[in-house]
Amino acid sequence: MPASGADALKPSAFLPVCTATCLLVGATSLFFVFTCPWLAATICPAVPPCCAILFLFVLANFTMATFMDAGVLPVASEDEDKDDGFRAPLYKNVDIKGVQVRMKWCASCHFYRPPRCSHCSVCDHCVEDFDHHCPWVNNCIGRRNYRYFFLFLLSLTFHMVAVFTFGLIYVLHHMNDLWKLHFTVTVVVISISGLFLLPVLGLTGFHLYLVSRGRTTNEQVTGKFQGGVNPFTQGCCNNMEYLVCSPISPKYMARPCKKKIVHVQPPFLRPELDQQMPMKVGDNGLHTLALENKRPSAGAVELSDIKQMKNPPPLPPKPDRGLLKSHAAADDVGHHSKSVIPVSIPTVPQLRPVLEAISRGSSPIPPEQLLKASEQQANIKGPDLCSGFRESPVRGIHQGSVSVQPPLQPNTVYSSLPLNSRSLALKHSCRYGSKSQLPAMQSDGWRSSPPRGIFTSSTVLANQSSNDSPPFNNFINPTEPQLMSQRGAPSVNYHSHFMMLGSDGSVQCPPPHSYSPVFMGVTRQSPQPRDSSPSLKGLTSRDPSPSLQGYMQREPSPGFQGLITRDLKSQSIASRDVPPPGVAMRDMSTQSLRDSLRDMVSQDTTLPKSAAARYDNFSKTIMASINERRELEERERMLHLQARSQAHYCADVGIYDIPSKRSLAPDNAGPPGSRGPTPPAYGSREFLMSTGILTYGMRTSPLSNSSTLSLTHGSKTSSSPLQNCSSSSLQNKGKSSSPAYCSSERQTQAVPSSTSTLPRLTSTNSSAPPYTSYATAKRSSLPFPSEGKESVTLGALK
Amino acid sequence: MATEFHNLQELRRSASLANKVFIQRDYSEGTACRFQTKFPSELESRIERTLFEDTVKTLNTFYAEAEKIGGQSYLEGCLACATAYLIFLCMETRYEKVLKKIAKYIQEQNEKIYAPRGLLITDPIERGMRVIEVSIYEDRGSSGSSSGSSSVSGSTAR
C-alpha cells in the first residue's frame, strides 16, 4: 500500500484488504484444485487455463490497484503558497471548456486543488482525478490506477461469474456425492463467489456507468454534475478509450533525482526596455527626465500653448518615479521646492495685464479681467521666469550655479512677473522651510539661499554683484542661517517685509502699489499712485525697503513690494504656496491694506518686529540693487519654469507656488473676519490655479501609487522576497501580498507625519508625492492621496 | 537546487534567489497538461517575452505529445495487460520517455537562455505538474576575493 497516511497504516485498515485477498486467492485456489480437473475432463480442457488467465489478470489488476500510486500530488513548497496563507480565498474558479469549475484551496497540501483533484482523508494527501479510497485495496483510486481498479473490478466480475458457473455445473453433476470433499469444497466456493458476486457486479456496473458519463465516484457521490454539464466527459466511447488506452501518468512522488547543476551567475542579461527613462542630472543639479530636456524655446512653445487655454491646461504626464525619488532625495531639509509645478504656471503671464494696469497707474483690474488679459499674451517670459524661479529654491541649497539662462525680456510689465514668481517662491520656500511658515521666515528667513542660482544667472544678465543675490535667496529660502551671515543686511529686506506682513499688527503700512489682485480685493481701494514705472527698475529710486516700507507707509516699488506684501499675506493666511498672481496693487491705500493684511494674517502672529527694524536700516541703494536683481532673476526663473513645466512638474518647485484648492483651503478655514473683503480676489486666484493644481494633485495619486508600488516590489523589506509571487499566482489567488499591506502601513505612517509638518518631506515616505509638502495647508487633501495610494497599491498588487 | 560555497580567487559576483514566479496550469481545455503562456509581469524586465513564451509553448507541445492517445499508447496498454504488467519492470512508459525529453529541454533552456538572465526554470514534474516555477535571481554584487561566497545553482531534472 503506497499510502503514507496514518489511517492507511492502521492495522484495522488492512483488514478489508486482507479479507479480500484471502477470499480471492483461497477460493480460486480451491476451485482450481477441486473443480477444475473434472471440468477439464468433462466439459473442456481449455476451461482451467482460461480461468487461470482470468485469475492472473484479476490478481495483476488487484496488485496494481493496491500498490500503485494513484497520482498523489506533492505538497506545495512554502515558496509557492507564501502569498496564499490564510488570506487566500477558499475557492478559485477556473473555466474549463466553458464550464466554471471551482478549485478549492487545500489547507493540507497548500495549493489550489486542480480540477477533479481531491484530498483523501485516509491517506492525507491530494490525489489527481480522485475517485475514491477503496478499503478493499487500502489505496486511493485516482488518475494513475483507476484503470487497474476498473479492470480489476471487471476481471473479478468475470472471474467470479466463471467460478460460480463452473462450480454450479460440478455440483449439479455430483448431486449423488454430496458428502465428498470435492463436492463440499465446490459448494463452499460457489457460495462465496455467489455471495460476493452481487456486490462486485453492482460496483462494476456502477463504474461502467461512471466511465460512460465521464465522472469519478467522488463527483457522482457529491453530485457535482448532476444537473449541469460535465466538462470532463468526451463521450462514452472516448471515455472508454481514454480509460483503457491512455498513457499512464507519471508518478509525482519520490521520483528518481537526477540533479543537473545549472550555475546562475551574474552579470545577467537584460532585455532592452523602452520605457526606462534616463535620468539626467542637469547642470543645476536637478534630476530631470532626459526627454523633457527640451530647449528653452520648446518651453516657450509649451508656455504659449498653455497660455492659450482659458482653463488650466491638462495635467502633465506623470513624472517618472525615479524622478520623484531623485527629487525626494534632492530635497534638503526645509527645501521642499521640488513640489509639483502646477499647470497654472501661465497664471503669471496671465497677470501681466494687471501689471500693465498697475504700471499705467490705472485702477485695479478685476482678477477676471486679469486672467483674460494674461491669457492673451503669449509670452515665454513668464514661463521662463517661472522655470528659472522654480529652480531657485532647489539651487539655493546646493548653491550651485544655475544654468538658467533665459533670454532677457525687456518687457517692463514682464519685469514685474519675476516679483510675482519670486514672491511665490518665497512663499513656497518659506512654507516648506519651516513648520510655521512665517516664524521660520522671521528667524532664519534671511539665511536662505535658494535663489542663489537664479541670482548667479541673473548676474550674467544684470551685472549685479553677488551681494544682491542673498536678499533674494533669503527671500526664497528663509531657513539657512549660514547664508544669512554671508549675506548682508539687504537680504533682510524682503523677509522683514514678509514677516512684517505675517505678524499680526506688525504691518505698518501696506505697500501702496504692486499688490496682487488679492490685495486689491482685500482693501477694495485703489493703491496709491506711484510715480515710478511699475517695473522693478523703478525700485532703484525707491526707498531701501520696498516691500516693508510699503507697509511702513513708504513708497516701495509697486510690483515687487506689492508682491511681497501679497506673498506675505497669503503666506500667513494660507501658509501655502499661493503665488499671488503677481499683480501689484498700486492703488491700495497703505493703511487700508495694512488693516486688511493684518486681518488676514491675524492668525499668524509669529513675525517678529525686529525684522522690520532691521529692514529699516537698509540703504536705498542696496534695496534698489536688490530689486533689480530680483527682477532679472525673476525673468530667468519664469523662462525656465515654463521650459520645464511640461515634463517636470514634480520637480522643482515650488517657488512658483500657485495656490491650489488645497492650498487655499486654509484660507477658507481662516478667520472669517480677515477674509471679509477678500473673497472675490481669492476666488479669482482660486479659479486661476486651484483647478489645475487640484487636478494635478489628484493625478499624482497614481503617481504616488506607482512610486509606492515600485517601492513595495523593490523593497520587500517587510516580507520575504518570495512573497511576491508571480502575478499569475497573485491573480489566481486573488489576494494582495503582504508587501502591499506593509506599504500601505508605511503610507499610513507617512501621512500623519507629512500632515503634521511640512518640511518633513524628506523624512516621509519617499514614495509620497511631492505635493504632500503642501500637507500643512492641504490637510484635507492629504487623506485622499494617502488612501488612494493605499487602495491602489493593494489593488494593484492583488 | 543546491547552494555551493566556493573559495574565490578573484572578485566574483554572486546571485541570490530573489523571487519565484509560478506559471499556472491552463485548464481551459480540460485536465490535459497545459501551462499558461501568459507572460508574468515579474519577468518583464528579465527576459524577452518571446523567449519565455516559446519555452512554455514547447513544453506544452511536449506534454501534449506525452498524453496523446494513439497507437503507441494502445500498444503499450495491451502489452502491459498481456504481461500482467510485468513489462513495467523492464520498460519505461511513453510518458516517462517524454518526461525525459522535457527535462533535457528544460536543462538546455536553463543553460542557454535563463541562467544568463538570472532565471531558472524548475521542471513542473517536481511540483506535481501544477506549476512551472521560475526562480528569479538577483545580482548580489561583487563578493570578496577571499572567503567563500555562495553561488546559486539549480537542478533541472530529477
pLDDT given at position A277? 52
Q: Distance, in angstroms, between B74 CA and closest chain A CA?
A: 5
Asked if B154's CB is within 8 angstroms of A269's CB, the reply is no
Let me know if residue A146 belongs to a domain: yes
Question: Residue A327 falls within a domain, yes or no?
Answer: no
The span from the CA of A142 to the CA of A406, in Å, is 79
Q: Which of A264, A273, A729 sits opposite B15 (nearest CB)?
A: A264
Spell out where A282-379 has E strands: 287-289
- Residue-wise pLDDT for A776-791, tens only, equals 444 444 444 444 444 3
Beta pairing partners, A100 = A95
Q: Is A311 a residue whose pLDDT tops 80?
A: no
Helix (H) or strand (E) segment spanning residue A264: strand A261-264
A549-564 per-position pLDDT tens digit? 434 444 444 444 444 4
CB nearest to A97's CB, from B29, B117, B118 = B29
**In a domain? residue A751:** no
CA distances from A105 to A70, A87, A92, A97 (A): 20, 11, 8, 21
Domain annotation covers residue A210: yes
Q: Given an 8 Å threshold on Cβ–Cβ distance, is A721 in contact with B137?
A: no
Residue A765 pLDDT exceeds 70: no
Q: What is the ipTM metric for this complex?
A: 0.84
In three-state secondary structure terms, B152 is strand
Q: Sorting pLDDT into bands at 50, 70 and 90, what band is A79?
A: confident
pLDDT digits (tens, 9 = 90+) for A632-647: 888 887 887 776 665 5
d(CA A337, CA A433): 9
| Contact by Cβ (8 Å): A134, A199 | no
Sign of CA dihedral A463, A468, A469, A475: negative
Helix (H) or strand (E) holding A127: strand A125-127
Find where cell 497654472 sits.
Answer: A344
User: CB distance A246–B73 less than 8 Å?
Assistant: yes
Residues pairing with B16 in the sheet: B138
pLDDT of residue A729: 39
Q: How many domains does chain A have?
A: 1
Q: Is residue A134 annotated as a catalytic residue, yes or no?
A: yes
Q: Output DSSP code: residue A509.
A: -
Q: Are A578 and A663 in contact (CB under 8 A)?
A: yes
Q: Over 80: is that where the pLDDT of A49 sits?
A: yes
Asked if residue A768 lies in contact with residue A706, where contact means CB atoms within 8 angstroms, the answer is no
- pLDDT of the residue at A462: 41
| Cα A349 to Cα A353: distance, rounded to the nearest angstrom | 8
* Kind of pairing between the strands at A111-112 and A118-120: unpaired
Residue whose grid cell is 512551472: B132
Residues 6+ positions from A566 with CB-CB distance below 8 Å: A423, A515, A516, A518, A519, A580, A585
Whole-number mean pLDDT of chain A? 60
pLDDT of residue A182: 85
Amino acid identity for residue B136 in this structure: I
Q: SS3 string of A359-376?
A: HHCCCCCCHHHHHHHHHH
In angstroms, rounded to a whole number, what is the distance separating the alpha carbons of residues A120 and A725? 28
Chain A partners within 8 Å of B85 (Cβ): 60, 63-64, 148
Question: What pLDDT is recorded for position A667?
Answer: 46
Alpha-carbon distance A170 to A797, whole Å? 76
For residue A252, give the nearest of B13, B40, B125 by CB distance.
B125
User: A249: which chain B residues are within 8 Å (Cβ-Cβ)?
Assistant: 95
Residues 6+ apart with CB under 8 A from A509: A550, A551, A552, A553, A554, A590, A591, A593, A594
Whole-number Å distance between alpha carbons of A72 and A123: 10
| Structural domain for A211, as ranges | 11-71+137-245
- Give the gyration radius of chain B's Cα atoms: 19
**Yes or no, beta carbons of A252 and B129 under 8 Å apart:** yes
Nearest to residue A720, comparing CAs of A737, A706, A733? A737
- Report residue A104: phi and psi, to 5°: -95, 145
pLDDT exceeds cutoff 50 at A602:
no
In a domain, residue A83? The reply is no
**Contact call for residues A80 and A110 (beta carbons, < 8 A):** yes
The mean per-residue pLDDT over the stretch A712-729 comes to 40
Interface touch B127/A247, C-beta < 8 Å:
no
Pairing of strands A99-106, A91-96: antiparallel
Per the model's pLDDT, the better-predicted residue between A360 and A634 turns out to be A634
Q: Is A611 helix (H, G, I), strand (E, B) or coil?
A: helix
Segment 45-64 of chain B within 8 Å of chain A by CB: 45-48
The answer to whether A73 contacts B128, with C-beta atoms less than 8 Å apart, is yes
Backbone φ and ψ of B21, nearest 5°: -110, 135
> Which DSSP category does A538 fall into?
G
Rounded to the nearest 5°, which phi and psi values hold at A690?
Answer: -65, -45
Distance CA A432, CA A421 (A): 16
> With 70 as the cut, is the pLDDT of residue A332 above it?
no
Residues 115-134 of B with CB under 8 A from A: 115-120, 125-131, 133-134
Name, in order, each residue with C-beta under 8 angstroms of A400's C-beta and a sequence gap of 6 or more. A283, A284, A285, A453
Contacts of A264 in chain B (CB under 8 A): 15, 115, 118-120, 137, 151-154
Q: Does residue A199 register a pLDDT over 90?
A: yes
Q: How is residue A706 written as a grid cell?
A: 506607482
pLDDT top residue among A611 and A140:
A140
Instruction: Tell me what percent of the residues of chain A surpass a pLDDT of 70.
Output: 34
Which residues, other chains included, contact A49 with Cβ-Cβ below 8 Å and sequence gap of 6+? none
- Structural domain includes residue A188: yes
Q: What is the C-alpha separation between B64 and A728, in angstroms, rounded?
A: 22
Q: How many CA atoms lie within 13 A of A148 on its CB side?
A: 28
Read off the pTM. Answer: 0.49
Q: What is the mean pLDDT of residues A228-257?
A: 87
Mean of pLDDT values over A390-416 = 42
Half-sphere exposure of A1 (CA within 13 A, CB side): 25
For A375, the grid coordinates are 491669457
- Residue B70 buriedness (CB in 10 A; 0-12 / 13-18 / 19+): exposed
B residues 83-122 closer than 8 Å to A (CB):
84-85, 93-96, 99, 103, 107, 110-111, 115-120
Residue A477 placed within a domain:
no
Q: What is the pLDDT along chain B (158 residues), one digit of tens a residue?
A: 555 555 544 456 777 888 888 999 999 888 889 999 989 888 888 888 999 999 999 999 999 999 888 888 888 888 898 888 998 888 888 899 999 999 999 999 999 988 888 889 999 998 889 999 999 888 776 555 444 444 444 444 43
- Higher-pLDDT residue of B19 and A723 is B19
Cell of A288: 530631470
- Compute the distance between CA of residue A155 and CA of residue A56 in angstroms, rounded to an integer: 9
Contact assessment for residue A291 and residue A277, using Cβ atoms and an 8 Å cutoff: yes
Task: Taking residues A33-40, report their average pLDDT.
Answer: 88
Which is catalytic among the residues A51, A123, A126, A134? A134
CA angle A82, A87, A93 (to 5 degrees): 95
Under 8 Å between Cβ of A342 and A689: yes
Q: Do A726 and B21 touch (CB under 8 A)?
A: yes
Closest CA to A422 of A573, A272, A584, A293: A584
Three-state DSSP state, B153:
strand
Per the CB < 8 A criterion, the answer to whether A518 and A654 are in contact is no
DSSP A722: G
Closest Cα to residue A462, out of A542, A397, A405? A405
3-state secondary structure of A199: helix
Q: Is the pLDDT of residue A669 over 90?
A: no
State the pLDDT at residue A1.
55
pLDDT at A505 over 60: no
Percent of chain A with pLDDT strictly greater than 90: 14
CA distance B5 to chain A (A): 12
